Structure 1
Amino acid sequence: MGNGTSYVAMVLVQLAYGGSNILMKIALEKGLDQLVFIVYRHVIAVLLLGPFAYVLERKQRPSLSIKVMAKIFVLSSLGTTVHLNLYYAGLAYTSATVASALSNVIPCLTFLIAVMLGMEKLSIKNASGRAKIIGALICLGGSLTFTFWKGGYLIRSLLKRPLISLQDASQASDVLKHGKENWIKGSLLILTSHVAWSAWLILQAVIYKAYPARLSLTAMICFFASLQSSVLSLFFARNRSLWKLEVNVQLWTIIYCGVVISSLVYYLQTWCISRKGPVFAAMFSPLLLVIVGIFSAVAFNEQFRMGSLIGACIIVLGLYCVLWGKRKESLYDAQLENRKGVTDCNTQEISVTTVE
């Protein structure tokens, strides 16, 4: 598959995450327990991925040592159990748009960790290195602009009332509903969850080198995620009524996240990380803010301001800068490998001539 496939895959990943953010906000407001949700969605993913992983990778799957299994267990803890529980706990105190805006720390965190571990090159002397640094800063600035610049309204009255109502009209906003203190608490929970997510992206690239079986790796991540959250539910979700499922938005949210997010999106991310690295996957996170912001303006009748539009354009510009830098860097590395191959061939020819 061509290089453009990775870009398309990551855009689809952010679209899928945008849908899950909206659905989860609705489901949490309707009473869905987050631990119950995490267990069910990953059980669905294991049931879907398990048979495919067994059949398609039975010949190429490497042996699973205790050391590799322990790494996958830690990987699952960071990217699912810790990240999801903290993220959904914070989402209950904030809006989907703000939660998505906070996700824009992921590229900076992932890039910083990757540089510290020597997984990402950083050279201010090269144009590609400068582009990645400037692009990351532009994305962060665009996120802050999108979130905090209260410019004039772009769309004043797109709808007379929201398509989806999460609360009564008497509850004017999430800030009034939860209070400023809880709003800050929610933001801190989400930011902490993104630290775990950044570490998950980095660790996934490391584990894939030792266990290069994407379907099996994704299935085991989901298995450990369901197991870990099941243990937590013994302490925090012992009420049997929480586990009863009915045909409502909670059930459809579980099915959507189990089939699309935990199965398809996790696999696509693993595939992109194995090809392009963790920083490449992380740099598409700013698109989530734009996607959720547009959907929230239409579905929830949130006020979409001119500042938000400008911030969205800045985010796209920063993303383009980083991807351009990554592209130039990959082309430069490919040229070095080609030159090295030519040099090796010449060396072999000289050696053969000398022997004759």
Structure 2
Amino acid sequence: MGSVKSVAPYLGMTIVQLAYGGSNILGKLALERGLSYLVFIVYRHLIATAILGPLAYVLERKQRTKLSLSILFKIFNLALFGTTIHQNVYYAGLDCTSPTVAGAMGSVIPALTFTLAVFLRMEEIKIKKAKGRAKIIGALVCITGALLFTFWQGPLLPGFVKRPLITVQGKNSGHGSKHYKDDWIKGSVLILTSHVAFSAWLILQAMVYEVYPARLSTNTLICFFASLQSSALALIFDRNTSSWKLDWNIQLLTIVYSGIVISCLAYYLQTFCISKKGPVFAAMFSPVLLVVVGLFSVLFFAERLHLGSLIGALVIILGLYTVLWGKSKDSDEDHKENAKTLSSSTESHPV
């Protein structure tokens, strides 16, 4: 039973990244077919609120603590950073670029989260030790890779698939044009900005869980506030009433998938993993998204990578796993200290 509990956070975060990979692909297809990302974000969180609300009410009646104004304000900020800002900016960037770029840029999330955690003293760095230097160097390498990926394309690499199995028709279909290159940089910058907000969200989740441990109720409130905040943005920036009309098509499938799989399941699993292992642990699984989306895009969209993109992605992953090495040494030390404490306690209090 203990081994299952120890594996659960790893399995949970892998499922989360697979779910996000599906959302990336569907989101790109739906955006290219005219779905307004502002309206999309409103609908998906309304679906999630309708599903999570009754579950939270029934399952967490005894677990919920009293909601104070302070806790509500923290959850409101969670919704603001993790959904309203992150997703609106993210989908604006995805509209300008490809799912592979979006997935690759997600690999910078661990370094951003780690940097924020250090500033907030949630992560300890001992510069005199190798593990401390590894964390700092890894974070800097990761950010350098993200900048390389964003601003240096380089020549196109040969593709593995000649004809796409899924054709994306839209304004970015002309990959060789200057217009596309400008959009590619703009999209990468927007996605990178959204990941800063997402990293802040991971940190805030850990803080909120300490004062309000009811995960389902927290996620219900996040989705509720996100739908209100995103509705306000949609009413300001997208006043076209036809944008709110839904038909039986890829747009509706994307909304339903994102509402149920991402806003319900993935949000909950992410909250669970953060409560068990912390925000930096959850952020470390972001490169899984790069692999999932990259493979899908190459095989089904016949997408061709740029040399600069490939080098940038490799630098990001190198930096990420340098940070991971430092984190693993922390875990080893914690296990040794716990073992020593347990041993000394047993010796001083013999049975």
One of 15, 20, 45 as aligned partner of 1:17: 20
TM-score normalised to the size of structure 1? 0.86
Whether 1:216 aligns to 2:217 is yes
| Matched residue type, 2:68 | S
Cα distance in 1 between the residues matched to 2:291 and 2:326: 22
CA contact (8 A) 1:287 1:316 kept: no
Q: Which structure: larger Rg?
A: 1
Question: Residues 309 and 84 of structure 1: is their aligned pair in 2 closer, same or farther, counting only changes over 3 Å?
Answer: closer
Report how far residue 157 of structure 1 moved: 4.7
One of 45, 61, 70 as aligned partner of 2:64: 61
SS of aligned partner of 1:122: coil
Question: Residues 320 and 4 of structure 1: is their aligned pair in 2 closer, same or farther, counting only changes over 3 Å?
Answer: farther
Structure 1 residue aligned with 2:303: 302
Cα distance in 2 between the residues matched to 1:348 and 1:145: 58
CA contact (8 A) 1:273 1:280 kept: yes
CA contact (8 A) 2:107 2:286 kept: yes
CA contact (8 A) 2:153 2:308 kept: yes
Q: Deviations along 1:218-247, whole A, 9 cap, x unmatched?
A: 111111111111122222233221111111
Structure 1 residue aligned with 2:85: 82
Whether 1:31 aligns to 2:47 is no
One of 165, 168, 177 as aligned partner of 1:166: 168
SS of aligned partner of 2:122: coil
Cα distance in 1 between the residues matched to 2:20 and 2:45: 15
Gaps of 5+ in 1: 350-356
Structure 1 residue aligned with 2:281: 280
One of 113, 118, 127 as aligned partner of 1:115: 118
Cα distance in 2 between the residues matched to 1:96 and 1:293: 8
Structure 2 residue aligned with 1:353: none
Whether 1:264 aligns to 2:256 is no
Q: How many residues align?
A: 346
Aligned residues with identical type, % of pairs: 58
Question: Residues 196 and 34 of structure 1: is their aligned pair in 2 closer, same or farther, counting only changes over 3 Å?
Answer: same
Structure 2 residue aligned with 1:333: 334
Question: Residues 178 and 157 of structure 1: is their aligned pair in 2 closer, same or farther, counting only changes over 3 Å?
Answer: closer
Whether 1:43 aligns to 2:46 is yes
Q: Deviations along 1:3-62, whole A, 9 cap, x unmatched?
A: 332222222222211211111111111110111100111111112212221222111111
Report how far residue 308 of structure 1 moved: 6.7
Q: Deviations along 1:106-165, whole A, 9 cap, x unmatched?
A: 222211110011101112333433443444455556667777575784x64523x21121
Alignment of 1:158-237 (within 5 A): 158-159=161-162, 161-167=163-169, 171-173=173-175, 175-178=177-180, 180=182, 182-237=183-238
Moved more, 250-259 or 165-174: 165-174
Q: Deviations along 1:161-193, whole A, 9 cap, x unmatched?
A: 21121227995217545452x433323322221
CA contact (8 A) 2:103 2:293 kept: yes
Cα distance in 2 between the residues matched to 1:186 and 1:304: 16
CA contact (8 A) 1:104 1:140 kept: no
SS of aligned partner of 2:5: coil
Alignment of 1:345-356 (within 5 A): none
Cα distance in 1 between the residues matched to 2:323 and 2:101: 23
TM-score normalised to the size of structure 2? 0.87
Structure 1 residue aligned with 2:8: 5
| Matched residue type, 2:239 | R
RMSD: 2.9
Moved more, 170-179 or 291-300: 170-179
Question: Residues 20 and 9 of structure 1: is their aligned pair in 2 closer, same or farther, counting only changes over 3 Å?
Answer: same
Report how far residue 324 of structure 1 moved: 4.0
Cα distance in 2 between the residues matched to 1:169 and 1:198: 30
